[in-house]
Amino acid sequence: MAVITIHIVSDVICPWCYIGYRSLERAISLYQKTYPGGSKDEFEIVWKPYFIDKEPPAESEVISERMLRRSKDPKVVEANQTRLTRIGAQSNIHFNFEGRMGSSRLAHQLLHLVYLEKGSEMQCKVSEQLFRYQFELAEDISKMDVVVEAAVKAGLDEDEVADWLVSDKGIVEVEQEEKEMRATGKVGGVPHYIIGKQHLEGAVDYTEHMEAFIAAREAAASCN
């Protein structure tokens, strides 16, 4: 048996990170079903912070308006939304661009603390719910009540999560970790995956994840 560790550098307000995670899940399932001995291998997924907005926005804005502000072209916005809708549907993601989007700092604080207190499996569950709340339920995950609700949906205790988030616990560590990710010079955008010695960037096809899993597995075997 081997343990394959995957670091996902991601921002929960990035729609391609949501799509990329679904592609990763598909790759893991396929690997465990088809690779010789793969069913005995385990995966540990650890989420690392990245801020699409280097400076947090002063207030939330409608996602469609945010996309227009960044691209300056309504046709580009329409094309991007059409593409995300089409590709998302293939992964059972139903995008809603009418919600509001703000800073992801609070969500990253939660993900950091969840990993420290509850481990990687719960961190994945919380990340999934944060994506779902932002992009499918059209909820603003820069808001405390929304983040707490998403965490409870993932299986965490409401009072415990609220206590975490009203404190400053983890905030400095998240900021430092995000800076370290950028400082490597290897993370130019998100999603970004570190699997063994391989770096994959963008919402890559599941077959690329598979190849990276196999390379990591074989490298681990050669060290034993």
| Residue ranges of domains in the chain | 3-223
Sequential DSSP letters for 150-182? HHHHHT--HHHHHHHHHS-TTHHHHHHHHHHHH
Question: What architecture is the 3-223 domain classified under in CATH?
Answer: 3-Layer(aba) Sandwich (3.40)
State pLDDT tens for residues 73-100.
999 999 999 999 999 999 999 999 999 9
Yes or no: say if 88 and 134 are a contact pair by the CB < 8 Å rule.
no
pLDDT of residue 116 exceeding 90? yes
Question: Residue 55's pLDDT is what?
Answer: 86
For residues 224 and 168, give the distance between their C-alpha atoms in angstroms, rounded to a whole number: 42
Yes or no: say if 142 and 77 are a contact pair by the CB < 8 Å rule.
no
Over residues 13-35, the mean pLDDT reads: 96
pTM: 0.95
pLDDT of residue 148 exceeding 70? yes
Question: Residue 70's pLDDT is what?
Answer: 84
